[in-house]
Each structure stands twice: as structure tokens, then as C-alpha cells.
A and B are shown apart, each in its own frame.
Chain A
Amino acid sequence: MRPGHLLLLGAAALLVVLGLALGPVTIAPGEIAAVAAGSGDPVHAASIGQIRAPRILLGVAVGTALALAGAALQGLLRNPLADPGLIGVTGGASIGAVSVIVLGEVLFGGGTPGGGTGGDAGGDDVGGGGGAGVAVNAIAGAFIGVMVYISDDTQLRDLTFWSLGALGAANWTLVLVASGISLASALALLSMHRALDLFQVGERAAFHAGIDTERVKLKTGLLTALAVGGATAAAGPIGFIGLVAPHIARLLLGAHHRIMMPAAALTGIALVLSADLAVRLAVPPAEPPIGIATSLLGGPVFLWLLLTRVRRHA
């Protein structure tokens, strides 16, 4: 572990504590410890146990999943602007979630967001990853358009809020299932650090160095789809974390995936939790969608990255 990792770990831990402490009712850290020990105020215990803790765990899972999926895709595609949205994972996952919101009553007898499952990876061909993603996103967009068209007013409101991303719908069942899937898949991506390093010298060179490139592409596609699918199903399509977190990690700790990926995961957690905290504290007790905060942060960073690349190639 390097100093950069400790710094990010500290930031993530601080945001977890702030996430538990702050809200419409402020709970002091001592009281949080008392609740954790089982001796706290029952109202605070309910607030933490039923609302804030699942929300924070979901934030941790979403941040980890999006950041590691972004880092893996950027490594695999050798494109620092790659994002889970690029290969259509988010779009594919959105189809599942939107279907449940609009058709939930017909399909399952009750409409709850969070029923969506993993999307279509579409990215097992490195060269065509972006193109396949455009296609998947287009199909997903058309499907979502149909769902919006046939939805009633309540469903439309649910759809709109879900599509902007939110951790607020977190309950323990949703959090444990979605976080379990996305965290397990995202952490499995960490084991691919050597292959991703070698992909930086090109796919042929990676094969020459002993990497089964087809297997790596398939495995990365599947794990990314599961990680992002789980996160998107539970929290909606939260943009830019997959793009920005690996960049910050790379700036802090270099390009080696063994070192960069854990840093990206911690950065992803810190970004999601701080965005969630920002929207919770902006206009209490109302909670604007978290996607607004991540887009406000991520949009300018994306532009900056684009301009840097344009300048470098000029």
C-alpha cells in the first residue's frame, strides 16, 4: 500500500462517517459508535440501520463497481475515455430496470425499481467495443423510449428519478443482492491487473507475453457487465464515476493496474459518497438525484480530458 492509497482510504472512511452522521438529523460520531455497539438511541439506530447504512453500503458498492469497471474497460480498450456507458453495459442494464418500473405490475405483480439485471457486455472485441456499445445504447434508448411512451404519470416520475441515479431507494434486500453481485464482480476485475498492463502494448504483444487475450476480453466483458449491471439496477445509471475515478487514480499513483485499480475503487467510493452527501445536504429534506452531482463534476473533467488529448495530438 502506498501513501496515495492511504490518503484515498482516509477520504473514503471519512465520507462513510459523514454519510452516517449527516442528514436531516445530525448524529454525532459518538452516538454512531453507540448505535454500532447496540446501545444507542432507538430513533438514531433506526435512522442509521434502516436508511443511512444501506445507502452507504450501496454507495460503496456502486463506487467500487463503476470505478473498477471503468479502469478495466479503459485498460482493455486502451482508451482513457472509455466508460461503462461506452460498451452499452449501462444501456443494457437500464432496459432491465426500466422494464421493471413500467411492466413490473404485469410481470411481477408489483413495480419496484431495482429489479434489473446485468446488461449486455458487447465489448469482447476490443476493436469493435465502442461501435457495439453505440448499437446497444441505441437499442436500449429505443426500448426505453417505448417504455416512457406507455408509462403512466407515476411510472414516468419513477423513471425520471431512477434515470438520474439515486442511492435513496436502498433497502437491505436490494443492497445486499445488488452490492453482492457488483462488488464480487468488480473485485474479481482486480485479478486481471497483469493482463490489463500488457494490453497497453497492444493485443498481439499481450499474447506474445503469455496472455490468453480472447479469454481476458470475454472475462472483462462479463465481469464489467455484472458489476455495472448490479450497480445500475440498484442505483440507476450514475455517470462519469467510471471515467473520472481511474483518471484520478492514475494521476496519483501511475498507470500500473495492480496499484491503480485499488486506488480507482477508493476514489470511486469517495466520489459517490461525496456526491450523495452533496445532494442530501443541498436542499434538505428534499434529495435531488445523485446523477446531477456526478454529472456536474464529471462533465467538466471529461471536457478537460478531451481538450488535453486534442492538444497532445495537435
Chain B
Amino acid sequence: MLEAEAGDIAYGRTPVVEAASLSIAQGEICALCGPNGAGKTSLFAALAGELRPRRGVVRIGGEDIRKLSAVALAERRAVLEQSPTLSAEFSVRELIGLAIPLQIPPEEAEEIVETTIAEVDLAEYAARSVLRLSGGQRHRAHLGRALAQLAAGRALGHTTSLLLDEPTANLDIAHQIAVMHLANRAAARGAAVAVVLHDLNLAAAFADRIALMAKGRIIAAGAPSEVFTARRLSETYGTDLSVQIGSDDRPRITPRYDVTPAQTSKEIPHVHRHEPLSRPS
């Protein structure tokens, strides 16, 4: 279980997230969605243990994250950063093995690395320098680094969490779906998965639960079909969005491209005055 309880997060005196409560069970994918500046990345950073909430508590596997050392935390959760970078000529194999904790014996670490390379579909590039791969392949290699760390945590007997910060940004649609399937697989193996997503359709298609954020608060949390209503999404994003529920009970979100979105939340009523909102069927 990865949970935040009444978390307030601030940068200096500027509050960015207020009273955020969220819990993600093992085996569950929770998507953090919301417009730019909603506080998703800050809440994500608090869940990852890199930002301390000013108030409230973040727990991982029932343990207060503040009481865990960086090493203990790394055994319990793995993180894929928003724009992962690399400044050394590491091969795919080296990068994927980089974050495996030292407690894992070398043979076991090697096995984790090889399994992960196959999982992220980079077997034919395993010995190639990551810096010489395409953007999509490079991203998969970094995801492999997080997945290998997660597998190592599992091997050490911990219940694990996987945190992905906009893992599909800058990827083509096939790579986006592939990345989300990998997140799905991690959840199926028992990880609690938190994923920041801008693509509402990907969130609706893959997440078990959605936490929709706006102005530093979680304004709705629950199953995608409950959270993603046309009115709520249109109000939250300040643009007209329609929602249809598919046969799989998952919403499909369609924007209207012929209407200029309101630039700020204050302008949202203006949008509604012009365009009636569609309702989920």
C-alpha cells in the first residue's frame, strides 16, 4: 500500500498541494491526472519520498516514509523520472542493472537484468550504448532500470511500489501502449503503481483508479468511469470534453478542437456558456 494522508506540500511558503489523501493498494494502478500546475508532480515527489509534506504523512507498506533511509526506500519503491537522462556511455545492460541494490547476489542481479531486458524488448540492443538508441528505446531502457530495481525489491521480500512520472510523454502511440502494458504487468506482480498521465484516454484504459487533481487538491478519486465525467473534466481542464463509456466500462474522452480553451480556470464558465457539455452515456 502506497498512501498519502492529508498531505500538504509547499515550496518555501508557497503551498502547492493541500490535504491530499490517496491510497494505492498492491496490484492497483492509480493514475494522477489533472491540468498543468494541478500539483500532480509535487504529490508524486512526495509519494516518491523526495519531497517532505509540510503536514500529513506518506506511508509505503505501512511505514512512514520519513523513517526510511534512501537505501530502504529504494528497496520498496522504484521511480521512473519524467525526462530520464544519462551522461555516460553505459550499455542497455549496464543501465538496467544500475539501480539493483547491492544486497542482491551478482548471479541473481544478472538474471533480473536479462529478464528485464527481454521484458522491455531490448534484447537485440543489450550491448549497445544507450546514448546511441532512439528516443523510444532509450525511454524503455530507463523504464527497465526502474523495473529491475522493482524486481530486486521483490526478491528482497518487500511489497513494492512503482512510480512513473509521465512515462508516455514524447513516445509514439505504440510505445505509449507498450509502456502502460509494462505498468500493468508490474501491478499484476503485486506492485502498487502510481502514474502521472496527461493522456486521459490512456489513464482511462489502464488505471484501476484515477485521482483527478486541480489547484493543488484531489478533487475526485475512484474508478475511471466515476471520475471522468464530461462536466468534471471540462470544468477541470477549461475546455469542452465529451465522454463515452465503452463496452469495457471504460470512458473514452474526446476533446472539441473547434473551441479555443479558456486560458485560466476563471474563464471556464465562459466556455460553458458557449458550448453545452455532453454527458456520459
Determine if chain A interacts with chain B: yes
B66-112 residues with Cβ-Cβ distance < 8 A to A are 69-71, 73-75, 78-79, 81, 84-90, 94-95, 98-99, 101-102
Select the stretch in A18-26, A147-155, A206-214, A220-228 that faces chain B. Answer: A206-214
Contact of A78 with B87 at beta-carbon distance under 8 Å, contacts A201-B98, A208-B78 already known: yes
A204 at the binding interface (Cβ < 8 Å): yes
A200 vs B129: C-alpha distance when bound (angstroms) = 14
Task: Enumerate chain A residues within 8 angstroms of B94, measured Cβ to Cβ.
Answer: 256
Do residues A200 and B88 form an inter-chain contact, with CB atoms below 8 A?
Answer: yes
A157 at the binding interface (Cβ < 8 Å): no
Do residues B84 and A202 form an inter-chain contact, with CB atoms below 8 A?
Answer: yes
Question: What count of chain B residues pass the 8 Å CB interface test?
Answer: 28
Task: Enumerate chain A residues within 8 angstroms of B87, measured Cβ to Cβ.
Answer: 78, 200
B48 at the binding interface (Cβ < 8 Å): yes
Do residues B98 and A198 form an inter-chain contact, with CB atoms below 8 A?
Answer: yes
B166-206 residues with Cβ-Cβ distance < 8 A to A are none
B145 at the binding interface (Cβ < 8 Å): yes
A197 vs B100: C-alpha distance when bound (angstroms) = 12
B101 to chain A, nearest CB (A): 6
A201 vs B94: C-alpha distance when bound (angstroms) = 12
Do residues B102 and A201 form an inter-chain contact, with CB atoms below 8 A?
Answer: no
B142 at the binding interface (Cβ < 8 Å): yes
A205 vs B79: C-alpha distance when bound (angstroms) = 8
Do residues B88 and A208 form an inter-chain contact, with CB atoms below 8 A?
Answer: no
Task: Enumerate chain A residues within 8 angstroms of B79, measured Cβ to Cβ.
Answer: 205, 208
Task: Enumerate chain B residues within 8 angstroms of A9, measured Cβ to Cβ.
Answer: none
Do residues A205 and B84 form an inter-chain contact, with CB atoms below 8 A?
Answer: yes
Which of A198, A202, A205, A254 has the most C-beta atoms of chain B within 10 angstroms of its own C-beta?
A: A205
A257 to chain B, nearest CB (A): 9
A164 vs B81: C-alpha distance when bound (angstroms) = 46
B226 at the binding interface (Cβ < 8 Å): no
Task: Enumerate chain A residues within 8 angstroms of B50, measured Cβ to Cβ.
Answer: 204, 207-208
A212 vs B68: C-alpha distance when bound (angstroms) = 12
A205 vs B83: C-alpha distance when bound (angstroms) = 10
B26 at the binding interface (Cβ < 8 Å): no
Do residues B89 and A210 form an inter-chain contact, with CB atoms below 8 A?
Answer: no
Task: Enumerate chain A residues within 8 angstroms of B69, measured Cβ to Cβ.
Answer: 212
A178 vs B75: C-alpha distance when bound (angstroms) = 41
A212 vs B74: C-alpha distance when bound (angstroms) = 11
A30 vs B119: C-alpha distance when bound (angstroms) = 61
Task: Enumerate chain B residues within 8 angstroms of A209, measured Cβ to Cβ.
Answer: 74, 98-99, 149
* Residue from A78, A197, A213, A254 within 8 A of B98 (CB atoms): A197
A203-247 residues with Cβ-Cβ distance < 8 A to B are 204-205, 207-213
B76 to chain A, nearest CB (A): 10
Task: Enumerate chain B residues within 8 angstroms of A211, measured Cβ to Cβ.
Answer: 70
* Residue from A201, A210, A256 within 8 A of B86 (CB atoms): A201
- A254 (CB) vs chain B CBs: closest residue: B89
Do residues B101 and A210 form an inter-chain contact, with CB atoms below 8 A?
Answer: yes
**Hey, which bits of chain A sit against chain B, CB under 8 A?**
78, 194, 197-198, 200-202, 204-205, 207-213, 250, 254-256
Give 9 closest A-B pairs by Cβ, nearest first.
A210-B74, A209-B99, A255-B88, A200-B88, A208-B79, A78-B87, A210-B71, A212-B70, A255-B89
* Given contact pairs A205-B79, A208-B74, a sample of 9 additional A-B residue pairs in the complex whose CB atoms are under 8 Å apart: A198-B99, A200-B86, A201-B142, A202-B84, A205-B99, A207-B50, A208-B48, A250-B89, A256-B90
